[in-house]
Structure 1
């Protein structure tokens, strides 16, 4: 096991020994670099488009399967759960076998399950922010590229929501997934030709592939995350009265504790010791709270406007479409601010945006004109997304060693997507217990959105503490 295919990865020593000059490293021209960034950003675009396919036409999909309203959150939660959980290990796979290979395989895997699973989204695309970390040199340009990567998220959601709603209402909803599969295959092909092969850092040859991949960490980490998330989202369907619901939650917590114990004893941990030190822990806490509230907001934005206001999915998508432009503006502003002001300030502003958007949704009056709460929250919320995501990515990129860059990329994606799924579980559970057995649907939606306000409030509190800590550190440094 010590000598395996992972040892055939190109290293700087191999290149010198063979006296070759293959296309390793950064793109050689600005045009090739621009194409490279576009292709890598497509991973974020398509992932958010896939999320939209599980939200925008959800009423039509649900009616075709004759499901109950309590089960609606599972469509979105299962998607984000799968993305967030399994991307946790994809970074290490990329470190061992090459991120280009994982990028192509990820898109093909996404295409396969979009093609075969048009009834339930449950795929994961290996998003390669690690390439942006390793290829784009440090500096303002790198910060702007990270912002562009985050900026495509609102646009990807709008794109997916528009086409899925249009196809569901005018043709047949599975076409949304089949078209997504075609697009994923196209990006896999582009990735193969556009993305350069990275020079891999040599790993210890005395360890087996299982150890290099942190096999036990992957098994316990993924299992624990899935069980905890499943318990909360299943509680929204069957309630906590079912013994297996809280039993799985307890088992999941115990397995996650075992994972943390094992991580301290492995040579290549999935969760490096530097991951939760310093400002990284604060940043991940903010992202977890903020993005969990975002999942609640976007899901119940559609539910309230469709089920209570009587709008079609396509009309709700049109009302949300401005989020793409707002997110792009937020990304540009964040790119300009990164390096000029402390990351704690950017994160605090992002959490305020999440909290403001969620509060507007929770308090939206039924029958109110669109240009009030619904319009304003659509403009405000993307600032939380596109300020927290790139700044958090850049902080992790700069704080972790080169050998852990793939893990760093996976960690942010895991926190973002897993938090969306877990937040939906929290909100769905609240909805179940306050809607009087589906007799008062609006009351249930209100309860869920106020749960979202609480999550965003936690994010704001963490960001405030982060501000105080960094202010004190700066005063000590200047003293």
Structure 2
């Protein structure tokens, strides 16, 4: 659900500044002695184990998000916490750390080895999942801290999983690997939606203890199943500590992370304390100051910028705008539709898992279909299609009567949402790849993933502010529903804005293609006359 097939991304290394040269067919090309695709020679069983291990990063990412979606009231009640603003941190805190540190995780993998950082991420996720369960003996702030720390695990594993898949497989097998990577997202989401409430029926800490045990197994499996990555050109010589620190862009990374954390914290904390507290808007102001510092460092000071700001063109701005609008509404839609079902409609968590089960089929099939067609259809057209799907989903959920039949609004909105999610990510990745210079293409998936997961968390912060302003304190079900509806209509507005951006980008892309075609025909005519 949170990612899609990245087969359209042609480059292999995740942040490689010196990507391998390529044949005309787009496959990576290196000298025989310099690089070899290790997994190409694996037997079938060995290859399946390797792919499943790498894809477990996206599975556990979605599991960690969705195993809490329908059980946050159960967890909150055990701590005596029932306010929506406080409860939203169980979701937004996880997304905050994930979205903030994805780029950092990719850069660490480039410098210290993708396998090593992947393994560290799995170990970290296991420990923090255990911490989340043990927090039952402590307090709600400790539980929220554990959830925030949990998000660092996928931030380390997901970008390095993409790099591992690309470095170990050549073009053909790599495509299938990326398709499996995308398909693991809805599988993880359904596992979380199903097993989260099942374990909560026994005792909610088992939601996280079971996750900790499973991820611990994956930690050991990753050590065995993932091979050591081949050493590429510029990594063959030993760097000094100073060179390594310079390449990590610590100053830029610190300022960027601080800006993202403060901005997100201000919006989500305002749900708890409101904007009357001075420290909330002070954090918001400081986030803008750190953002300015980040851009200055990346443009003027950094030798190896963690985000090459200079390559961010108007095309990239359109991609970021569409992606942020779509995925922030996904977070709003998923969170608040579940709240309506649980708090107003009377559905149970298990019933909701059944209602959302179509994503298991449509998510996998859509990922595979998009993977096959992404290179045959302009990415700008696919982006517009995805934004229209986001818009229709948001509109259906905003209009949905609370006690309507499942097979009307809810069923069709769920199906359409899957189309939106599994088509927007590959389209965004390809547009990014085609727009930026070749040396920056490897970072495309991490940049897009940062936008995706950060937008989910930030969208919940915006929506929560709207909810609290219009629900009259949420004392009655009618007031609660009014607040929930307001957030869903906000998501409709966001997706309408994203759709307009996608239309503008499509027209711009069409004009560029037509201009290039006319120029090519003119050059052909001139050469014929000569």
Instruction: Answer yes or no: same fold by TM over 0.5.
Output: yes
Aligned-partner SS, 2:41:
coil
Q: Distance in 2 between matches of 1:112 and 1:397?
A: 36
CA distance in 1, matches of 2:164, 2:316: 20
Bigger radius of gyration, 1 or 2?
Answer: 2
What pairs up with 1:450-461 in 2 under 5 angstroms? 450-461=489-500
**CA distance, structure 2, for counterparts of residue 195 and residue 478 of structure 1:** 45
Residue 347 of structure 1 corresponds to which residue in structure 2?
Answer: 383
**Corresponding residue number in structure 2 for 1:256:** 291
Could you tell me which residue of structure 2 aligns to residue 28 of structure 1? 41
Deviations 1:162-193 (A, max 9, x none): 10111112x01111111111121222222222
Distance across 2 between alignment mates of 1:287 and 1:151: 20
Q: Shift of residue 236 of structure 1?
A: 2.0
Partner of 2:318: 282
Give the structure 2 partner of residue 8 of structure 1.
none
Q: How does 1:167-182 map to 2 (within 5 A)?
A: 167-169=199-201, 171-182=202-213
Query: In the alignment, which residue of structure 1 is the partner of 2:129?
Result: 114
Moved more, 148-157 or 392-401: 392-401
Counterparts of 1:92 and 1:135 in 2: how far apart (Å)?
Answer: 18
Match of 1:74 in 2: 89
CA distance in 1, matches of 2:210, 2:62: 15
Q: Which moved more, 1:323-332 or 1:429-438?
A: 323-332
Distance change (3 Å), C-alpha of 1:453 and 1:324: same
Partner residue in 2 for 1:468 = 507
Alignment of 1:213-292 (within 5 A): 213-264=248-299, 265-273=301-309, 276-277=312-313, 279-292=315-328
Question: What secondary structure sits across from 2:302 in the alignment?
Answer: coil
Paired residue for 2:9?
A: none
- Equivalent-residue separation in structure 1 for 2:307 and 2:505 (angstroms): 22
Q: Distance in 2 between matches of 1:116 and 1:138?
A: 40
Q: Which residue does 1:431 correspond to in 2?
A: 467
Tell me if the contact between 1:146 and 1:393 (Cα under 8 Å) persists in the aligned partners.
Answer: no
1:30, CA displacement in angstroms? 5.9
Would the aligned equivalents of 2:388 and 2:499 in 1 still touch at CA under 8 Å? yes
Is 2:187 the counterpart of 1:155?
Answer: yes
CA distance in 2 between counterparts of 1:165 and 1:242 reads: 36
| Equivalence map 1:384-403=2 (5 Å) | 384-396=420-432
Question: 1:449 maps to what in 2?
Answer: 488
Paired residue for 1:6?
A: none
Residue-by-residue CA offset, 1:11-31 (whole Å, 9 max, x unaligned) = x9xxxxxx9999874442362
Asked if 1:187 corresponds to 2:202, the answer is no
Q: Structure 1 stretches of 5 or more lacking a match? A: 1-11, 13-18
Separation of aligned partners in 2, 1:54 and 1:309: 19
Distance across 1 between alignment mates of 2:427 and 2:115: 24
Q: 1:20 to 1:389 in 2, by over 3 A?
A: closer
Q: Any conservation in 1 of the 2:99–2:450 contact (CA below 8 Å)?
A: yes
Unaligned runs of 5+ in 2: 1-19, 21-31, 134-142, 519-530
2:354 pairs with 1:318: yes
CA RMSD of aligned residues (A): 2.4
C-alpha distance in 2 between matches for 1:416 and 1:30: 35
CA contact (8 A) 2:429 2:448 kept: yes
Per-residue CA deviations over 1:352-401 (Å, capped at 9, x if unaligned) read 11111111111111211111111111111111111112333345456667
Counterpart residue number, 1:92: 107
Give yes or no for the alignment of 1:411 onto 2:447.
yes
Looking at structure 1, the residues matched to 512 and 264 of structure 2 have their Cα atoms a distance apart, in angstroms, of 36
- Alpha-carbon deviations, 1:121-165, whole Å to 9, x = none? 2212221212233444446x6455434322322221111111011
**Given the two structures, how large is their TM-score scaled by the length of structure 2?**
0.81
Q: Structure 1 CA distance, aligned partners of 2:449 and 2:492? A: 22
TM-score (norm 1): 0.90
